[in-house]
Amino acid sequence: MKVPVTKKNVTNKTMKSQFIEFLVRHNNLNRFGFDAWIFYPGMLFNDLSTWWGDRGVRLRAHEGLDFCFYRDTGGQDRSLREKTMIPMMYEGEIVRIGDDFLGKSIFVSHNIYDACGNRLHTIYGHMNPYSGVTIGKVVGEGELIATIADT
């Protein structure tokens, strides 16, 4: 579906998601003091290496960001646990739920567009969606949609 772009629905560059704040709060990551995410080579968008196993080369460039490790304010490295609850990045409609190799991927369509009219979608990988998270459902920013599948 192509929605005409008006000035109203062009993304405001200052519109920042509260995703991290929701993730930290819902999962009580602040109990140790949350300092920063840790991204090893292979965890960032377009990375070509793997960060697991023998740390070889990916078959295709990485198409996401792996939020997995963080540092607490005491300087200790920690990892997100299985069952960590995942909030929505922005309000949006669930448009697809498909299997991935560690769980399910949830595809969300947002009413946010760039200057060229491209619609923003976010995809949450390796999830166990909550039972109420179904195709066509509109979910608000910060609402919990899933837990992390087996890590």
Applying CB under 5 A, the residues found at the interface with Zn ion are 64, 66
Instruction: Pick between residue 113 and residue 148 the one whose CB is nearest to Zn ion.
Output: 148
Min dist CB 65 to Zn ion, Å, is 7
Q: Measuring CA to CA, how many Å separate 6 from each of 11, 12, 42, 111? A: 10, 12, 37, 12
Q: Which long-range contacts (CB under 8 A, 24 or more apart) does 20-24 make?
A: 22/87, 22/141, 22/142, 23/67, 23/84, 23/86, 23/87
**Spatial contact of 142 and 22, defined as CB atoms under 8 Å apart:** yes
Q: Output 113 or 126, the one with its CB closest to Zn ion.
A: 126
Nearest distance from residue 66's CB to Zn ion, in Å?
A: 4
* Closest residue to Zn ion in the complex (CB): 66
- Report in angstroms how near the CB of residue 8 gets to Zn ion at its nearest: 34
25 vs 64, beta carbon nearer Zn ion: 64
- Nearest distance from C-beta of residue 44 to Zn ion, angstroms: 9
For Zn ion, the closer CB: 15 or 57: 57
